[in-house]
Amino acid sequence: MPAPSTSPAPPAAGTSTRVTGGVGESARRPDGALKVTGEFAYSSDLWADDMLWGATLRSPHPHARLTGLDIGPAVAMPGVYAVLTHDDVPGRTVYGLERADQPVLCDGIARYHGEPVAIVAADHPETARRAASRIVAEYDVLEPLTDPRRAIDPASAPRVHPTGNVVRHLAVRKGDFETGLDVAAEVTVTGEYEVGMQDQAFLGPESGLAVPAEDGGVDLFVATQWLHVDRDQVAACLGMPPERVRLTLGGVGGAFGAREDLSMQIHACMLALHTGRPVKMVYSREESFFGHVHRHPAVLRYEHGASRDGLLRYVKAEIVLDGGAYMSSTPAVVANAATLGVGPYDVPHVSVDCWGVYTNNPPCGAMRGFGAVQAAFGYESQMDRMAAELGLDPVEFRIRNAMSEGSTMPTGQAVDSPAPVAELLKRVSSVPLPPRERGDDGYDLRELPGGVSNTTHGEGVVRGVGYGVGIKNVCFSEGFDDYSTARVRLETVDGRPVASVHTAAAEVGQGLVTLLVQIARTELGIDEVTILPADTEVGSAGSTSASRQSYVTGGAVRAACEAIRERVPDPASLPDGEVVEETVEWRHRPTSPLNEHGQGNAHVQYAFAAHRAVVDVDTELGLVKVVELATAQDVGKAMNPDAVVGQINGGSAQGLGLALMEEVQVSGGRIGNPSFTDYLIPTILDMPPTRVDILELADPEAPYGLRGVGEPPAISSTPAIVAAVRAATGAALTRIPIRPEHILDLSGVSEGERT
């Protein structure tokens, strides 16, 4: 992989050249070697000598009335210490990120396949699982609501919740649409698209250890994305003041949004408090597919209007997002899909309606790039079709309509920092195309569609090139009080200045702990910086999501260091034995809610990435090999260039998965493939070499000028790959993930069917 190129950026305030491993360097991760050698302790490795193991009984039905629950056979088993149900929830019986609508344990109606019904603690995990299976649960099976398009009708039945099935409908109107006029254009293109249910597929399943404390409270060690919001929900459901529930971050094996909602947290605490023993819960891979939210499946209808000379005039869109049985973060997903629904383009007239609905499908919530990912597949597919309709090159058409600094979003918000959409597109499109590599025999199976499965030696293989560009909001939006807390302590030990940084920010694998060290080194001018374990003994850091932690917790650590420097202008000269400590709560600029036309300065920052995908498609078998992904992304400031490249490669891979293989298959409300045998994620033979081009155009509002990095590459790689497959095959491909059957036209008599 070529080294990322960087553009010059203005020097950040407070940077110092005295330290090594400061901001802008590829400092090494403290957890890197441990993870590579398998020694890193994940939350599933947590252990207490006298601990019990928890297990969960789940509903086998997507919609059913629980008519009977006999825990007797489970309680009677030797080694079983507790069997708890809905009636045993000590406090509030429901929880949720935006609205508490999800029962801790089934409240009489099971609303999705996998809903927790009862929990068990036993002295061995297998005993706990067997005891759970001996609980006799009787159900009156009800008709499930599984079509999200039906659910947007306020009168749709059955009602998944008494409030009706529409969680949120957001209308965004800009230009003539805002004043109620209709808009026409010389050329129009209409399309309907569908996005399947993607899973975050983190490798470390839900797990944690709850330890009852002497004060009657509980200490919970857990892999999560936001310790404080977990704590508040757990405390409410345990009927305890928040200070009696103390959380410490366990080793997190990936998150991608799936750990924003609670999974085993309340259950483990209930069992620990009930038994007076530490209780560990670890989901199996299969259970994990039922134990966390997924990416919202979407149905998107788009109408694009443009002038003959290739300027977008209007976009109309209707987007339906299937939120499944509970709310989770559906309202925020709706906001993103609606406000970012036309993509990074200047569009004078916009009308977007987006619905997030309840159904009896598995609950959906946060996943990397949420809302923006679904919309991007729709609007980028449309951009390619419109370009074709106009006879324009797809890159040229995008560049003509690319938004830039000073553009106005469909929400009326002015974009007040660099938005180099055209530049990103120019960069990816000017990268030389990869050669067609051939081995000694004329081919190398590993380079061909199908890989070593030996389905082609080049026959039927057609190359295609496609482009995608996306936009994502960074940080929390719509007036949310989004802040982070950092406590920095400076002292001199044996003549050497050392600093410790304490935040509650969740390191989920992205490298935040490395970044916070770099910031403290740079700001304090000292080399030795320790990151303390993340826990609730310090104030909230907010969520590790929305590409926000470098921005917000990074900003908080910088601010705390600045506060120390005000007291000790030269931190390296602090006398031995003296201690200086500062705790700072840091906020980004405020945002505002959206009005009834979806207007308002709802977002903090926008981030952009563009992809070019080169694919080889076996046009007779419908198999795809992505040959290369070229990415250009503006990161404002590459705080840690290696980590930035890692995020871009990882996001690109996740987008590749959505384009070509990743789907939780749901039929009649039931998950059909809850395993890594049948839920496929890309392997090393699927993920191609990448070319990563990093721009650093500072955002004057952001710490160091940085721009959130994690999500944009997961947005644009998907439409780029689909476009490349379309270019190779001519297939319409209106649904992702693409399956071989979509590439081939098997509607007529195909090969093998002749007699």
Partner 1 sequence: MEFLRPRTWNEAVAVKAAHPEALALAGGTDVMVELNFDRTRPASLLDLTGVDDLAHWALDGDVLRLGAGVTYSRVVDELGFALPGLATASRTVGSPQIRNRGTIAGNLGSASPAGDAHPALLAAGAEVEVESVRGVRHVPVAEFFAGPKRHVLEPDELIKAILVRPASGPQEFAKIGTRNAMVIAVCSFGLALHPHARRVGTGIGSAAATPRRALDAERFVSEELDWQGRGPLPDGVARRFGELVAHAAEPIDDGRGTARYRVHALAVMARRTLGWAWAAYRKG
Find the shortest distance in angstroms from Cβ 130 to partner 1: 8
Q: Which residues are within 8 A (CB) of 170 and not within 5 positions of it... i.e. 6 or more apart?
A: 334, 335, 338, 339, 352, 353, 354, 594, 598
**Closest distance to partner 1 from the beta carbon of 404 (Å):** 38
Q: Which of residues 190, 307, 595, 750 is near partner 1 by CB under 8 A?
A: 750
Pick one of 143, 192, 444, 459: the residue that binds partner 1 (CB under 8 A): 459
Task: Name the minimum Å distance from CB 294 to partner 1.
Answer: 16
**Among residues 159 and 739, whose Cβ is nearest to partner 1?**
739
The residues pairing with 694 across neighbouring beta strands, listed in sequence order, are 6, 633
Nearer to partner 1, 37 or 179 (CB): 37
Based on CB atoms, which residue is closest to partner 1, 104 or 629? Answer: 629
What is the smallest separation between the CB atom of 11 and partner 1, expressed in angstroms? 45
CB of 178 to partner 1, least distance (A): 44
- The sign of the CA dihedral 398, 400, 405, 411 is negative
Which residue lies nearer to partner 1 by CB, 113 or 400? 113
Binding flag, residue 37, partner 1 (CB under 8 A): no
Q: Alpha carbon of 732 to those of 343, 468, 721, 735, 750: distances in Å? A: 21, 16, 13, 9, 18
- Alpha helix locations (H) across 340-480? 372-390, 394-401, 421-430
Q: Is 450 in the site for partner 1 (CB under 8 A)?
A: yes
Is the bond into 737 cis (omega within 30 degrees of 0)? yes
Q: How far is the CB of 453 from partner 1 (least distance, A)?
A: 4
Q: Does 753 interact with partner 1 (rule: CB under 8 A)?
A: yes
Nearer of residues 338 and 448 to partner 1, judged by Cβ: 448
Q: Does 462 bind partner 1 (CB under 8 A)?
A: no
Window 280-299: residues binding partner 1 (CB under 8 A): 286
Of residues 5, 453, 530, 595, which one binds partner 1 by CB under 8 A?
453
How many residues of this chain bind partner 1 (CB under 8 A)?
43
315: closest CA among 222, 185, 201? 185
Q: Which is nearer to partner 1, 150 or 463 (CB)?
A: 463
From residue 402, alpha-carbon distances to 4, 173, 185, 692, 695 in Å are 24, 20, 19, 21, 17
Residue 606 CA to residue 423 CA, distance in Å, equals 15
Q: How far is the CB of 741 from partner 1 (least distance, A)?
A: 5
Six token digits for residue 691: 């070319």
- The answer to whether residues 571 and 497 touch, using CB atoms and an 8 Å cutoff, is yes
Q: Go through the chain and tell me how many residues it has.
A: 755
Q: Is 134 in the site for partner 1 (CB under 8 A)?
A: no
- Name the pairing type of β-strands 605-618 and 461-474: antiparallel
Q: Amino acid identity, residue 462?
A: V
Go through 589-625 and write b for each residue having 16 or more CB atoms within 10 A of its CB, e for each that does not. eebeebeebbbbbbbbbbbbbbbbbbbbbbbbbbbbb
Q: Which residues contact 619 (CB under 8 A, 6 or more apart)?
A: 460, 461, 462, 728, 729, 743, 744
DSSP bridge partners of 109: 65
Query: Which span sits near partner 1 by CB under 8 A: 30-38, 291-299, 330-338, 617-625?
Result: 617-625
Smallest gap from residue 662 Cβ to partner 1 (A):
10
| Closer of 40 and 676 to partner 1 (Cβ) | 676
Residue 682 or 703: which CB sits closer to partner 1?
682
Please tell me whether residue 751 binds partner 1 under the rule CB under 8 A: yes
Find out whether 116 and 105 touch, Cβ atoms under 8 Å.
Answer: yes
Q: Are the C-beta atoms of residues 664 and 671 closer than 8 Å to each other?
A: yes
Nearer residue to partner 1 within complex by CB, 568 or 685: 685
List the interface residues with partner 1, window 650-709 (CB under 8 A). 660-661, 665, 672-673, 677-678, 680, 682-686
CA distance 308 to 59: 56
- Tell how many helices (H) and how many strands (E) occur in the chain: 16, 31
- Say how far apart CA 265 and CA 219 lie, in whole Å: 11
Q: Decide if 196 contacts 297 (C-beta within 8 A).
A: yes
- Pick 236 or 626: Cβ nearer partner 1: 626
* Between 143 and 459, CB nearer to partner 1: 459
Is residue 60 part of the contact set for partner 1 (CB under 8 A)?
no
| Closest distance to partner 1 from the beta carbon of 613 (Å) | 15
Q: In the stretch 562-601, what mask flags binding to partner 1 with x, by CB under 8 A? A: ----------------------------------------
C-beta atoms surrounding 579 within 10 Å: 9
- Candidate segments 415-423, 456-464, 502-510, 526-534, binder of partner 1 by CB under 8 A: 456-464
Among 431, 462, 572, 621, contact with partner 1 (rule: CB under 8 A):
621
Q: Give the β-pairing of 690-695 and 623-634.
A: parallel
Nearer to partner 1, 163 or 665 (CB): 665
Among 26, 225, 374, 456, binds partner 1 (CB under 8 A): 456
99 by Cβ neighbours in 10 Å (0-12 / 13-18 / 19+) ranks as: middle
Instruction: Identify which range of 107-115, 135-143, 398-406, 445-453 contacts partner 1 by CB under 8 A.
Output: 445-453
Cβ distance to partner 1 smaller for residue 129 or 313:
129
CB closer to partner 1 out of 183 and 685: 685
Interface residues with partner 1 (CB under 8 A) are 129, 286, 446, 449-457, 459-460, 620-623, 625, 660-661, 665, 672-673, 677-678, 680, 682-686, 739-741, 744, 746, 750-755
